Structure 1
């Protein structure tokens, strides 16, 4: 018998959708029981639970039915949530903590680290919600290395068997306790999944199916074996600007901190003039603890320590001096995760002689402006807004200025402008002339190739009214029921696209190859 989760109150129509019963059938069966209901009728939890049990033998649970213990135990668990973009990582934590972060993320993409804390069956657990985009690989690897358990979220929309080899590689390269979470099972029924020697759970981050069982069994399965606390005292989690004030969230692994204490990074020390826990100012905090500071600008670095010598001994000195060289581009962001990832990208370029870049945190102020004027820097802002007076001075001094909301857009800008690493080569241009159903929830795009040659192995970009709506791969190409590998200009064909079913007549498609410079 399946379990379904609902809120305290739900409409009959919504309840029918959740339990996958036709609403007309639901109304008919209740009528035969002598109960008259309308599809927009609001049902409380107990009524919905009784009706579903009596009429359809379906078990209904409250969506907020987690019962967390409040007694603190000695052992702490650190769980990193990893997975591809749109796999449902943030939605899972939204369900557990009753938040709504996923709906507020720009472009529905996680671009910063968030840490959550809870007490669950006498265990204190810290969850790290990590970005999914490959541009954040260094961020992800850092948190994986300090975590007790890793939840790898895999969407049911993906080919699970093809993911298996990648998962094995992750385990072999990292000494980690990995649990595979097959997510979005509320969307469709799947056969039993068996991944050899891997712990696998089927869950739905949307309605909460299997989530409590996942957490309980995870904590019972593994012992707390990571001993990273002897290396560092803490890590910067994220940063942001709110109402004109710059906030930074930090995570203290060990030791205690007092107001006005200094903490040490790779190349500088910062004084903690204020400490906030749950928005309450504190004079002292004890580890493990998530805390915030305000109006303090930290360097784009990962770890910090109370003792300067200890930190320097264990620091990897990831960022060399020349990466802070102010020449050409002056990049500023309020997001600590984005700043680190840009530095990592800049460092990883095979040839960066065309770009000199400085990356810093905080709001763009008069000091930043004066520096850019003196050194003729090009200004790049990520998720920041300029006030009118500074924008006016930028225009008066003829300074280059550009703003981005997504780090991927900034990287694409640099790649396209400077042809970094690889060149994107357009191999064909296509227009969608018709669409045809193909199996459950799939569509074939009836297309005409009007320029170049389309190849099955090409990456494709799909545009709707000049806006990019999808980039991915082709599943298959057919010409008059015959499967082919390529289509020359002037021919029509049917294209089945991987992981994209919202194809529409009139959309334009280009196929591309990436070639080395």
Structure 2
């Protein structure tokens, strides 16, 4: 027995699928799920016979009613709306008006189901419905909506109008980011043929006072020549220099913090890093941090040994120290380029730039200037006179003034574009930094930008991304943590546990790094990407965010900025007093046996402002409570310069002469610590409790 689909039968009957589905249920007691469901031919014939006469009468009556209503509406209003459009549109309207008596509601002339976007213009809707524009405007007016031909209406309004023509509208459920990916894919086919050499993008890093800024100034003064080559303005954050008709782009945001913050947002824009090391000072803590950040990002490093004009300069000592961190100079048999330079005398500057170009040549940096542009936001700000101002670094394609772009979750049309010398330009190719105006909001540094076909598409994409961000925040899953590490191994989401180690002394750092890396197995690798002495800082959390790492602190504590950043980014921070506890926790996490029973809760912090020594009592600390509250019965720890020097209990807590149980933030107090008198001004007393938590099953 043959069957027919609901939408096909609805088309034959000249009614909507929704109306037919309701009719089947109410009149024939036949329940169908949707327009794609099938019914028996016998039932279909019965329905046709029943509805044939009444449907014909209704259609004729409905047509007469619409013509009558149309004549009652003041035609002048419709014509006036149409006259606001182009002459071509007006010609179409006159033709449509002349044929108004031939308006047909026969569903055979229109599609039963039409897909549309979230919004649609009146003219596009009329085109999809195969109806005169004036008639669609009339129906909008009957619905209480005054809309011109080129005005956009939302899906709900369009759906009501379509129902009057027995047409069912369906909202497109297209992923706008997928559309962007498809557009990019269209250009990938001709990328190999159209790719040309592009300038390298350089970031300068190093320790404080080792000459990063001086080196950049020296490069700028010696190589930034004509206005075409580019000057430097402090607000744009990037500039271009020339050497032998070759361009090099420098990011004027040196330092590992900016470098890693951008990488944490998915922006891998640096091709080469110049690591500045002072010849008279050698490797310092920030130098080590910069090396580790570069290794984590897998970016080539060129070492600029600066200050060779100083009396105490020792180039060989710097090279020797570099070998301890896996950077072996070329003349010592390694693959790291080391260039002696002097920012003061400009000695070696040309050689350094030549080495940059040589490294860039080995990397074969290419881009396709003929495609739509994409790249990264270097920095952005809100200017009172100009609105949202963003510095973009074009990484592929060519950016033109007037292009519509989407930047992260914001969008806009480029109203004006300026070079690094603040001259107005019309286009910018790969690796060229530009400052643009015209964005709807201020984007974040590190946000990616793409050129799209029009501003409407950009706006839709931005709204979709904002919605996705809101959903991700509601359903956010934390980054890798020791508690759920074993689950992630089993699910295949992680194959490597990345760790950052901070300790009170260098010996502990090396011991923990060595012990943890020995825990690696064939299935899971433990990798320590950074180890240093000192308190856990916001920079460590930023690196952990970019590398999806766990931070382990030994005898050190995170500062307040690090704690808030870790909470915001979902970074796991673990602190220990015994090395073996850290090793056992990592080992247990790898085999799925970790069972944390307590969680440390910081109750309050107080700073020691004065000390008093009394022979019969000991040392009394006069403190000011910074935040939270200090409780007499809570455990405390004494922190000096970010390092824990004692964990213990309070023996007394007073306000003036009275013993008290607790002291809140903003008040002063006096306290003594059990069996400890070596309290100094500037120490921080941290009060905490251990809260029992319920362990989730693995």
Query: TM-score when scaled to structure 2?
Result: 0.34
- The structure that has the greater radius of gyration is 2
The higher-RCO structure (CA 8 Å, 6+ apart) is: 1
**Structure with a larger share of its residues in helix:** 2
**Structure with a larger share of its residues in strand:** 1
